[in-house]
Structure 1
Amino acid sequence: MAVSWIQHRFSGGALALDTTNTVVLRGDAERSFDRFDDPVEIGRFAEAASGFRADELKGRTLAAPDPHAIAGKVIAIREATDRLMRRSVVDGVLAAADMPGLLNACADGLAGSRESLSAAAPFGAAPEPLAFEAALAVSALSLLSADTMSRLRICPNCNWLFVDRSRNGSRLWCDMAVCGNRQKARRHYSRRKQEVANA
């Protein structure tokens, strides 16, 4: 069944984090599943990300004409990014042992790319679409900036990674409209249940 790549699925704040979040309920062995189990979804995700991540990509569109061919590279970058970033949120530091995995996966994603990258155009400025695996590598590497690292969070509702870009750095949920409201509803239900039990 095709995934509906809606705005909520791009709540991570960066292409690389949106990609790590394609594993739903990561860490919950009984309920977790991978939206990229069908590699065709990689191409559909890249197409949707071209719109939802237009600011990050500086208007470049993403291309994944043969998702089956790049699935290994995409999954390798996704898993290395998740491992490094998730541990950094939990431990408060980057684990040096996880760095080679990310750097090697990103190098594979960029291999063969003819893009010219700069601070002003981190995803290049060529008019043609950018290979998804190359964009994913650039986005993953951009997460290593001190400012971004200090703003990485794990949503307590869905376990997704996201960048807290709020002014005071106090954002709790990846998406207030979805995860925040679900937690509010749970708390309300729990209070009502307690009130009934105490009555």
Structure 2
Amino acid sequence: MLPELIDAGHPALDLLNTAGGATRERDVERLTSFAEAVAFAARSGLVDAAEAAGLAGLDSPAEVVELRAQREALHGYLSALVDGRPPAPADRSRVERDVRAAYRAARLSGSLAGPAWIVEVGPGLIGHRFALATAALLSGSSREQISRCGRCSWFFLDPSPSRRRRWCSMATCGNRAKAARHHSRSR
């Protein structure tokens, strides 16, 4: 099962943070099975409990591989934007292609309650919901709040007026940075 992850402030960023460890390297993979992808999607709100139950009977290793590729393209795209450089054409194209495919697979809801876009339960649901969440993030006002941890590869929203938050979590990366500074001073 997935370990506790920080709440990045947006489901699309939460999914980005299912890879990566204590450094900038994306060397820890937390989506190793379809069941873990479903559990993550339910916990982050990408799917509701009924949809998660509907996906529980499926096992699609190929879908997990595709979800990881989708995640890494968005990670590359956002990393470039946060660093102030142009995104790689392949990352940008992949993110755009995923969003367009999700809109083609979705239909507009007839209700103000629940998600605005309905995607039928079945193969591709999590990837489509991730792409729709990505579209909402990139087209919404919180786009300007996207930040990346100064220590690891995780993203988060920083809604503070000064936008000076440096760590994904003070309890993890913030404490590691403080400990490293203390260690270097005490040498």
The TM-score range, normalised by the shorter chain, is 0.7 to 0.9
CA distance in 2: counterparts of 1:125 and 1:142, whole angstroms? 11
Give the structure with higher Rg (CA): 1
Structure 1 residues 1-199: aligned runs within 5 Å: 2-4=1-3, 6=4, 9-25=5-21, 27-28=24-25, 32-50=27-45, 60-61=48-49, 63=52, 64-65=55-56, 66=58, 68=60, 70-91=63-84, 98-116=91-109, 123-124=115-116, 131-145=125-139, 147-193=141-187
Aligned residues: 178
CA contact (8 A) 2:42 2:48 kept: no
Q: Sequence identity, in percent?
A: 29
Task: Say if 1:12 and 1:151 are closer, same or farther in 2 by CA, change over 3 A.
Answer: same
Q: Normalising by the residue count of structure 1, what TM-score does the alignment of the two structures yield?
A: 0.71
SS in structure 2 of the partner of residue 24 of structure 1: coil
Gaps of 5+ in 2: none
Deviates most, 63-72 or 11-20:
63-72
CA distance in 2: counterparts of 1:113 and 1:35, whole angstroms? 27
Q: Deviations over 1:101-156 (max 9, x none)?
A: 102123344553345289x6683387x98943332111111222374332222211
RMSD over aligned Cα, in angstroms? 3.3
SS in structure 2 of the partner of residue 33 of structure 1: coil
Q: Deviations over 1:77-119 (max 9, x none)?
A: 312211111110112556666432102123344553345289x
Deviation of 1:188 after TM superposition, in Å, equals 1.4
Alignment match, 1:197: none
Give the AA of the match of 2:144: S
CA contact (8 A) 1:156 1:172 kept: yes
